[in-house]
C-alpha cells in the first residue's frame, strides 16, 4: 500500500482522460502554428480549463509560458490567446471558490514580502528612471510572481491536483521536443523549441527538470514515477542539445546542491569521479578535448558578454542609488560607443536597440542601483532559509525532497544568472520557478491536512 509521504496515493485518482486530451490540444496548438488562433481550438481549451478547474491554472500557465515564437503568427497573435486562456481559467477558479463559499488564505511568507518590497523599489526608482512607464511595467510584470505563488498554493487542494499541475512540466518537455524535431533549429545542433531561442529553451528546461525529478522522488506508483523520470531524462538530453552553457551550468550546480543537502554521498562520489575522468581525458587526448570544447561551445568564450558587463557597470556608476530604470536602450547606457572596436560594433548596432547585459547582477545595479541588488540578495537569502528550514521539519520524505529541490533551483539559477536574467527576469521563463514554489507550498498545506494513518 502506498505510504502517506507520496505525492499521490490511492485516495485520489488521476484524471487520465483529461491528460491525453490536454497533451493533444497543446501539441496541436504548438505544431500547427497559425491554428493557435482558431476559434474552435481556443474554445476547446477553455472548456477543458473549466473542467479541470483548480488544477487548470497551474497546468495551463506552465504549458503556455514557453510558447513565444510560432511560424506565421505575430507576437500579439501568440501572446494574447495564451494569456487570455490563463485568465479565463483563473476566472473559473474564482467562480468555483465563490460558489463553494470557500475562503483563500492570502498570507505572504517572508520571501514573498521581500519580493513585494523589491517590486515597490521598482516603483520608487521609476521616479528617477529614464523610461518611467517601462520601469512601472517591469514592476507589474514581477508582481505576477507572488500572485502566482498564492494562486497556485490556494487553488491546488488535493494530491490529484498536485500531480495534474506537475503534468504541465511534462507537457513542456514533450511538446518542445516534438516541435523542435518537426520544426527549424537555431543553427546546427541547437534546439530552440517554442521559445524561439536555444538559450531560452535551455533556461526553461533548467527550471523544469528539477521539478520533474522532485515529483519522481515524491510519487508512488510505477506509472507516475516512470512518466516523471522519463520526462526529466528527455529534458536533460534536450538541454544538452540547446547548447546553452548557462543552463547546463545551472543544472550541474542544482545536482550538486541537491546531492549535498540530501547527503547522497555515492552520487557525489560518482559525480566527482566523472569530473576527474573528463579532466584526465581532456588532458591526454587533444582531439577529444577539442570535441568537448566544441560541443560545450567553450571556444567561443563569452561571446562579447564581457563588453556588455563593462558597459552596464559604467552606466550603473552614473546612478548607483536609484539606477536608470528598465527599458534601457544602447544610447541610454553607452552614449559614446567605439564603432571602430570590432566587439562593440558587433553588439552595439544602433542607439535605439534594447540594451541587455546578459547578467542579472549587472542588470539589477544598472536598473535599480545598489539597494535593488541588496534587496534581491535579501530575497534569495530568505527564500533559501525558508525552504531549508521547512526541509528539516518536513514530516515526509517527499516534502523534504520538494523543499530541497527549490533550494537547488535557486542556487543553480544564481549561477545561470551570471549570463542570463533568472528568477526575476526573462519574461515568462521564471514562471516555472515560482509556480514550483507554489506547488511545494500547496503540497505542504495538503500534507498537514492529511491524516498520515489513511
Please name which of 190, 189, 219, 194 lies closest in space to residue 204, comparing C-alpha atoms.
194
Written as nine digits, the cell of 399 is 516534502
- Looking at residue 10, its pLDDT comes to 36
- Looking at residue 9, its pLDDT comes to 43
- Looking at residue 384, its pLDDT comes to 93
Ordered alpha helix ranges (H), 192-302: 198-218, 222-242, 245-261, 265-284, 286-295
- How far apart CA 98 and CA 281 sit, in angstroms, is 63
pLDDT tens digits, residue range 96-116? 777 777 777 777 788 888 988
pLDDT tens digits, residue range 49-75? 555 556 677 877 787 777 766 655 566
15 vs 230: which has the higher pLDDT: 230
Neighbouring residues of 216: CB distance < 8 A, sequence distance ≥ 6: 225, 228, 229, 232
pLDDT tens digits, residue range 21-37? 444 555 555 445 444 44
The residue behind cell 564581457 is 306
- How far apart CA 418 and CA 98 sit, in angstroms, is 44
- Looking at residue 12, its pLDDT comes to 38
Alpha carbon distances (Å) from 454 to 6, 360, 431, 450: 12, 46, 34, 8
Q: Are 16 and 52 in contact (CB under 8 A)?
A: no
pTM: 0.81
Ordered alpha helix ranges (H), 393-430: 397-416
Neighbouring residues of 425: CB distance < 8 A, sequence distance ≥ 6: 360, 363
- How far apart CA 422 and CA 137 sit, in angstroms, is 18
Given its phi and psi angles, is residue 272 left (phi above 0), alpha (psi -120 to 50 degrees) or beta?
alpha
Is the predicted pLDDT of residue 454 greater than 70, yes or no? no
Amino acid at each position: 500500500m502506498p505510504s502517506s509521504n507520496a505525492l499521490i496515493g490511492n485516495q485520489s485518482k488521476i484524471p487520465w482522460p483529461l491528460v491525453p486530451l490536454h497533451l493533444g490540444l497543446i501539441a496541436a496548438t504548438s505544431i500547427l502554428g497559425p491554428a493557435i488562433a482558431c476559434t474552435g481550438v481556443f474554445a476547446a481549451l477553455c472548456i477543458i480549463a473549466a473542467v479541470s478547474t483548480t488544477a487548470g491554472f497551474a497546468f495551463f500557465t506552465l504549458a503556455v509560458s514557453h510558447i513565444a515564437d510560432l511560424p506565421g503568427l505575430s507576437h500579439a497573435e501568440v501572446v494574447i490567446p495564451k494569456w487570455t486562456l490563463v485568465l479565463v481559467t483563473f476566472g473559473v477558479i474564482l467562480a468555483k471558490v465563490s460558489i463553494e463559499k470557500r475562503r483563500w488564505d492570502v498570507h505572504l511568507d517572508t520571501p514573498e514580502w521581500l519580493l513585494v518590497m523589491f517590486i515597490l523599489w521598482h516603483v520608487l526608482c521609476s521616479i528617477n528612471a529614464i523610461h518611467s512607464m517601462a520601469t512601472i511595467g517591469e514592476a507589474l510584470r514581477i508582481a505576477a510572481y507572488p500572485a502566482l505563488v498564492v494562486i497556485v498554493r490556494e487553488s491546488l487542494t488535493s494530491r490529484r491536483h498536485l500531480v495534474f499541475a506537475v503534468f504541465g512540466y511534462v507537457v513542456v518537455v514533450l511538446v518542445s521536443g516534438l516541435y523542435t524535431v518537426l520544426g527549424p533549429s537555431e543553427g546546427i545542433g541547437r534546439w530552440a523549441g517554442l521559445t524561439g531561442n536555444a538559450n531560452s529553451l535551455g533556461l526553461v528546461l533548467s527550471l523544469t527538470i528539477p521539478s520533474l525529478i522532485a515529483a519522481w522522488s515524491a510519487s508512488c506508483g510505477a506509472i507516475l514515477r516512470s512518466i516523471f523520470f522519463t520526462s526529466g531524462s528527455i529534458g536533460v538530453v534536450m538541454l544538452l542539445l540547446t547548447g546553452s552553457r548557462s543552463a547546463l551550468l545551472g543544472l550541474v550546480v542544482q545536482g550538486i546542491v541537491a546531492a549535498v543537502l540530501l547527503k547522497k554521498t555515492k552520487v557525489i562520489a560518482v559525480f566527482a569521479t566523472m569530473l576527474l575522468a573528463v579532466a584526465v581525458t581532456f588532458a591526454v587526448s587533444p582531439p577529444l578535448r577539442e570535441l568537448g570544447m566544441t560541443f560545450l561551445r567553450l571556444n567561443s568564450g563569452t561571446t562579447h558578454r564581457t563588453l556588455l558587463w563593462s558597459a552596464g557597470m559604467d552606466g550603473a556608476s552614473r546612478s548607483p542609488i536609484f539606477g536608470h530604470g528598465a527599458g534601457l536602450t544602447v544610447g541610454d547606457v553607452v552614449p559614446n560607443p567605439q564603432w571602430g572596436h570590432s566587439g562593440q560594433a558587433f553588439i552595439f548596432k544602433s542607439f535605439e536597440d534594447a540594451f541587455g547585459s546578459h547578467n542579472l547582477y549587472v542588470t539589477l545595479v544598472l536598473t535599480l542601483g545598489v539597494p535593488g541588488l541588496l534587496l534581491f540578495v535579501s530575497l534569495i537569502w530568505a527564500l533559501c532559509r525558508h525552504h531549508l528550514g521547512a526541509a528539516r521539519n518536513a514530516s515526509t520524505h517527499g516534502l523534504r525532497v520538494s523543499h530541497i529541490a527549490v533550494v537547488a533551483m535557486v542556487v543553480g539559477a544564481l549561477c545561470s544568472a551570471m549570463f542570463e536574467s533568472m528568477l526575476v527576469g526573462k519574461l515568462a521563463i521564471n514562471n516555472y520557478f515560482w509556480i514550483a514554489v507554489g506547488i511545494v507550498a500547496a503540497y505542504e498545506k495538503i500534507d498537514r491536512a492529511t491524516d498520515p494513518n489513511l
